Structures are given as structure tokens and as C-alpha cells.
Structure 1
Amino acid sequence: MRILLTGSSGWLGRFLAPRLRAAGHRVTGLDVAPGAHTDMIGTVADRALIDLVFAERGIEAVIHGGALHKPDIVRYPNQAFVDVNLSGTLNLLEAAVAAGASRFVFTSTTSLMISTAIREGRGDAAVWIDETLASLEPRNIYGVTKLAAEQVCRLIHAEHGLPIMILRTSRFFPEDDDTHLILSGENMKANELLHRRLTVEDAAEAHLVALERAPEIGFGTFIISAPTPFVPGDVAALKIDAPGVIARYFPDAAALYARRGWHLPQSIDRVYDAGLAERVLGFRCKTDFTALLAAMRDGAELPVAHVADYISPKERSASVAN
């Protein structure tokens, strides 16, 4: 297929584009910043450019991974999020319909499911999060615009029948978390594999599976995250004694962590359940907390990428320009 991949210079794009090409697809990469997998420079908010790309490249399918993200909140005004995340998504959807595209995959985020109350860890138990969670009250402009974009996807599918897969990916960014600085970046990412993270390789693979399954499924919204070892009955204990719960599933985890000077989470406030993606989409992340501990036991390279000084290509480009 001739595929338009937005966000092709970003962290996901650099892993996804080669996989798409290896699968035999002809990929046109679109990004605001140059990159190894980017063919055209520009923003999805530019409708004339989007129409030009579809016309010149004969686009048959779209994977829309480009967006302004949570760290961008301190760098860009709210209107920029509306222009890129919402209007840009509408531009792509309408262009796809006009071109008779066969499928559309939208990279969304689990962040839009996290209210201020969940973010602050209120309540006596961890929140079990699956696709039935309601009502959704995103806590920032990033989540608000991604949720609105999901609703536009739903509307376009209903009105035009365009097969659309929405992937609510959990965390896979490589840099340090800008809000949690107590633990080292690697330690934090390892902990998050228990309940709110996946590898970028698994994120890329999920998009390939969604691309193939879209016409058959028609429309779907899926949480994409490493499979959690926990069950809903653990939520109360996870909030007050996460190490005790973890020890029941992984008896040697504390010792393995101690060898590295790492710390297990003392409390877990949310758990993402990716079971629907496994049952309906047919996708399950290959890397989970079990795989992480196996690598620690064997002295092998850890399966979670950590690049503490990672800077997104658009910010590097802006820095050079200035």
C-alpha cells in the first residue's frame, strides 16, 4: 500500500517507518522536522499541503502519529494543540475520504483517560483502566485535543465508513519523565512496565497489526500497553502495598532490583488493561515486566530504551533555526 505516515521523524516514526517498508509498503513520511524517514516537511494543520501529498503520492492509507504532546504544553499555546491535534486530524481524515483510502490508524494516548483525580492518586485503590472507563475528563490541553480528535474519527467513520483504528498507547517515550524525578529514568521505566508502559518496538508493531486488521474490524479503540500481571482484585492492595503484591507475582523482583540499587514502586495508582487489544485486534506486546526481570537475571541488555537527553526533532530544528 501507499501509506502516509505523519510524525515520521519522531521516536515512533523512526521505528515504524522501516517496519512498514520491510512489509512491502511504499511510505511517504511527513513531519515538521527533517529525519531519515521523512520525505516531506510540513504540518498536518496545512490542508493544502495534505491535499497535495495525497494527490502526488496516491495515498491509500494513513497512519497518523504526528502530534503535539504533553511536554509541548510549556512550549506552545493551546491554539497550537487545537490546530495540530484536532484540525490536523480532521484534515487527514477528510483527505483520506476524498481519496478513497482503505484505512486510517490514529495514534492516540492513554493520557486522555487520566483525570486530575486519577493523576493525583485520590481514592483508596488503584484505578483499573480499560476502554469502558467513563466519563473521560482529560486534565490538560493535550488530552482534550486527542479526545476530540478521537471523536472526529468516530464521526468520519459513521458518516463515510472509513475503517479507523484508534490506538491509545501508554508511555513509550525514551527521555526522563519531567514530573517524576525521584527515581532514575531506567528504574521508573522498569516499574511502569507493570502497569503503564510499553516499548517503542511494540508500539510500532501494534500499528502494523492495526493497519492490516482495520478493514475487517471497521472501527475500534484500543489501549496498547504491556500486559499487566495484575488483576482487578489487586487494586486495593496495589495502592497501599505495591511491593507486597509484586512479590506474589515475582518473588525475586526485590532482590534483582536491589542488585542495581533500584526501588520497586511503593504505591500504584492506576493499571492499564490492554486485554481488548489482545482479544479483538489480535495484538499483545512482546515485552513485559517478566521479560525485564529475565534480562536482569541473565545480565542482558534491558528491553526498555532510556535516552535521558532525548530531544524531539522538531525542538532540535527549532533550536537550530533560532
Structure 2
Amino acid sequence: MRVLVTGSSGWLGRHFAARLRQDGHRVTGLDLAAGPETQVVGSVADRRAVERAFAFGADAVVHAAGLHQPDLVRTRLQNFVDINVSGTLALLEAAKAAQCSAFVMTSTTSLMIDRAIREERGDAAVWLDESHAPLNPRNIYGTTKLAAEGLVRLFAQEHGLPGVVLRTSRFFPEDDDRPTALLSGPNIKANEFLNRRLSVEDAVEAHLAALSHAQQIGFGLFIASAPPPFTRDEVADLKRDARAVIARHFPDAAELYARRGWQLPRSIGRVYDPSLAEATIGWRAKTDFAAVLEALRTDAPLPFVHDASYVSPKDR
């Protein structure tokens, strides 16, 4: 298959493009920044760059390019519209004209978080799945990604272009955008595998599953996150005393954390539920909180990447 991958120099894009090549597919990479997986340097908002990329031939598109949360402090609001919305539209129109068999878009769970959820105002954790509504993104990033999702849905319904949207949870290697002096970067990431994180390897597998199932399902929207060890009936306890809930599921977690000088979360305000992706496209993340604890238990390398010095190629 000939696959056009946007964002091919980025953290997800370069991992995904390399995996496609490994599986025998022919890949064309489009990115603002040069890189080993990028053949066309340009923006998805530049229709001439999109045309150059499609000139290599494309049977499917995996759209991983876009402006993200960290870009809020360093770029104009208009750029979010140009790249995340207009760029997605340009790709969809080109994919339709090329009669592509699948269009897979990387979206974000961030667009599901309004201010009330972010500030954890309720008495219980919020259990988030694809049925969560109404959606009220708290910034231009989430607003434009939600608009782009709507375009993918529209082209599936109106033009028969099979589309899958993946709302991915966090898989970036750099430090959190809201660091705390109390917890190290690896400690924060390990905690997030309880409710809101994904390894980049599992993100790649989710996109592969979406690509292979797009024609079958026509349109699909899925949360891609590590499976939480909790159940919906534990949401009040998670908000009140997360450590007690974690101890019920993992009796040695506190001891394993103590050996590293780490801390478990005292309270958890939201949980992403990826079970629809498992039921529909057969994808389930391999790296979860149990895998993190097993690494601590056996003194093995942590099953995720932390690189505090990482800078996206487009920002260098």
C-alpha cells in the first residue's frame, strides 16, 4: 500500500512511517521539518505541498501533523485554524480526488476536557469515553481538532472516504507542560498510565489497526489510551483516595514506588476508557500501569520513553 504520512518528522509520525516501511508499505512523508522519514518538506496548510506529496501516489492517508498544546504559547491563533482545520480539509479533498481507501487522523483526548474537568471540581472522577458530551474544548487547540474531526466524519458520510479518528492520550517524551517540583518526569508519566497515557509504540499500533479497519467501518472515532485498571463504580473513591483504590488492584505498588522515591497520586480526576477501540478495531495497548510496576519489580527498563531535552523538529 502507498501511504501518505503527515507529521512524518514528529515523534509519532517518524515511528509510524518506519513501522509502515518495515511492513512493506511505500511511504511518503510530509512535514514542516526535514527528517529521515520525510520526502516532502512543507505544511499541510500549503496546497502546493499537499499536491507534491500526493504526486508520489497514495492509497491511504495517516494525518498526524498539527499544532499542539505547547504551541499555544508560541504561535498565533490563526495558525491553529490554518494547519489543524484548513490543512485537514486540503488533505481530505486530495484524498477524495485520489480515491484513497482510508483516512486516519490523530486527534486528542484534550478536546474532551473543559475547564470544570481540568479543575477537577466534582466529587468523583469523570469517566471519559466516546459518548462523553457535550464537548466544550477549553482552548483553540481543542476547538480546531474537534473541527477537524468533524471534517473527517463529513467526508466519510458525504463522499464515502473511509475515515477513523483516534483521540490519543499523552505519549510525548518530554516533560509535562505543568511540571511539579514534587515529582520527577518519569514518576509523572508512570502515574499517568493509570488513567491518561499511552506509549508511542502503542500509538503506532492503534494507527495501524485504524488503517486496516477503515474500509470495514466507514467512519469510527476511538479513544486510544492505556487501559485503566479501574471500573466505573470506583470513580468516587478515585477522587477521594486514589491510593487506596490503587492498593486494591496493586497491593505492592506503594512499596515499589517507595524504592524509587516516587509518589502515587492522592486523587485522580478523570479516566479515559479505550474499550471501544478494543471491541471495534481489535486494538488494546500493551503498556499499562501493570507493565510499569513489573519493570519496577524486576529492575527492568521502564516501558516508556522520558526525554526532558526532547524538542519537536518543527520547533528547532
TM-score bracket for this pair, using the shorter chain length:
over 0.9
TM (norm. structure 2) is: 0.99
Match of 1:20 in 2: 20
Match of 1:131 in 2: 130
What amino acid is aligned across from residue 224 of structure 1 in structure 2? A
Match of 2:154 in 1: 155
Distance in 1, Cα, partners of 2:41 & 2:218: 31
Match of 2:247 in 1: 247
TM (norm. structure 1) is: 0.97
What amino acid is aligned across from residue 126 of structure 2 in structure 1? V
Measure how far apart 1:53 and its partner are. Answer: 2.0
Q: How large is the RMSD of aligned CA atoms in angstroms?
A: 0.7
- Gapped regions of structure 1 (runs ≥ 5): 317-322
Deviations 1:4-50 (A, max 9, x none): 10000001012111110111110001100011111110000011221
Pairing 1:196–2:183 present: no
Deviations 1:227-247 (A, max 9, x none): 000000010010010000000
What amino acid is aligned across from residue 226 of structure 1 in structure 2? A
Distance in 2, Cα, partners of 1:49 & 1:180: 37
Measure how far apart 1:309 and its partner are. Answer: 1.1
What amino acid is aligned across from residue 259 of structure 1 in structure 2? R
1:133 partner SS: coil
Pairing 1:73–2:72 present: yes
Distance in 1, Cα, partners of 2:158 & 2:301: 48
- The answer (yes or no) to whether the contact 2:213–2:281 under 8 Å persists in 1 is yes
2:164 partner SS: strand
- The answer (yes or no) to whether the contact 2:29–2:53 under 8 Å persists in 1 is no
Matched ranges for 1:1-322 at <5 A: 1-54=1-54, 56-182=55-181, 183-316=183-316
Measure how far apart 1:139 and its partner are. Answer: 0.6
Distance in 1, Cα, partners of 2:20 & 2:94: 21
Aligned length: 315
Measure how far apart 1:180 and its partner are. Answer: 3.1
Distance in 2, Cα, partners of 1:305 & 1:167: 21
Match of 1:320 in 2: none
Distance in 2, Cα, partners of 1:274 & 1:220: 13
Deviations 1:247-306 (A, max 9, x none): 000000000000000000000000000000000111000110011111111110000110
- The answer (yes or no) to whether the contact 2:59–2:102 under 8 Å persists in 1 is yes
Measure how far apart 1:181 and its partner are. Answer: 1.8
What amino acid is aligned across from residue 268 of structure 1 in structure 2? I
Deviations 1:196-238 (A, max 9, x none): 0010000011111111111111100000000000000010010
- The answer (yes or no) to whether the contact 2:124–2:238 under 8 Å persists in 1 is yes
Distance in 2, Cα, partners of 1:250 & 1:52: 52
1:220 partner SS: strand
Measure how far apart 1:59 and its partner are. Answer: 1.1
Q: Which runs of 4+ in 1 moved over 3 A?
A: none
1:241 partner SS: helix
Measure how far apart 1:92 and its partner are. Answer: 0.3
